[in-house]
Amino acid sequence: MKPKLSIVKIGGNVIENSSSLSQVLELFSKMENHTILVHGGGKKATELGNRLGIKAQMINGRRITDAASLDIAVMVYGGLVNKNIVAELQSIGTNAIGMSGADGNAIHAHKRPIKDIDFGFVGDVDSVHGENVSKLLIAGFTPIFCALTHDGKGQLFNTNADTIAAELAVGLSSNYETTLYYCFEKKGVLREVSDEDSVIEHINSESYKELLKNGVIADGMLPKMHNCFYALQNNVHQVCIGNESMLSNTSSKYTRLTL
């Protein structure tokens, strides 16, 4: 029987709100079995860039990462956000260790190919070295991954944090029964965007097609759902979407996804 592993990805609005972040980290620290946390930090990167005179460039809601923006991302994701999370987890008894894809050669990526848009130093994941990450888990560490990867040739990349979480879940699924949690400010996937309590509590492949067809799942939720089903189709045990309450055993509502 495989040991259990929970991978929790926290959204930008959680990171922005210090009380929400503290609450999430408190619940995360109490989760049983092995755990990994994944975070981004795009809003804080935009804020620091503005202070330094480096404006964020966005096309269709996606960030363009030129050389200056990559420097900002490394400073914010790998430094400011990551180390504050690690320090807070240490203060509540979790032996956290800050990670990027370059650390321990954990996550290899390549520069996203130029089609209609050149996204700059944005990386698409090639592989996760699960054995290297597993060594940290076995040693009693809790890895805290930021949204950075590398190509093995010295180049860092800005990489979508939802994707990193899914790829880690897949990469570790051969050795662990892995559950992936996408934790953000909503209670789950909503049937009505204006109704915070209209949580769809279970979605499988068939109901997902219907929700897409009817336009219930659209816009920003589409790439997140793509990552969810990619993970499920590649041996991840279960995927959950909701707010911090789903990380405890007392959660009343959240969305659970299965095949």
Amino acid identity for residue 221 in this structure:
M
Task: Please give the DSSP secondary-structure letter assigned to residue 105.
Answer: G
CB atoms within 10 A of CB 226: 13
What lies within 8 Å, CB to CB, of 245 at 6+ separation is 27, 187, 251, 252, 254
Is 171 labeled as ligand-binding?
no
Is 41 labeled as ligand-binding?
yes
Is 63 labeled as ligand-binding?
yes
Is 40 labeled as ligand-binding?
no
What lies within 8 Å, CB to CB, of 5 at 6+ separation is 33, 34, 35, 36, 137, 172, 176, 177, 178, 179
Return the structure tokens found at 252: 């009343």
Kindly give the residue spans of alpha helices, DSSP state H, lying in the chain. Answer: 12-16, 18-29, 42-51, 67-73, 82-91, 130-138, 161-171, 205-213, 221-232
Q: What are the CA-CA distances from residue 254 to residues 152, 164, 190, 248 (Å)?
A: 38, 22, 10, 11
Annotated binding site: 41-42, 63, 158
Annotated binding site for substrate: 41-42, 63, 158
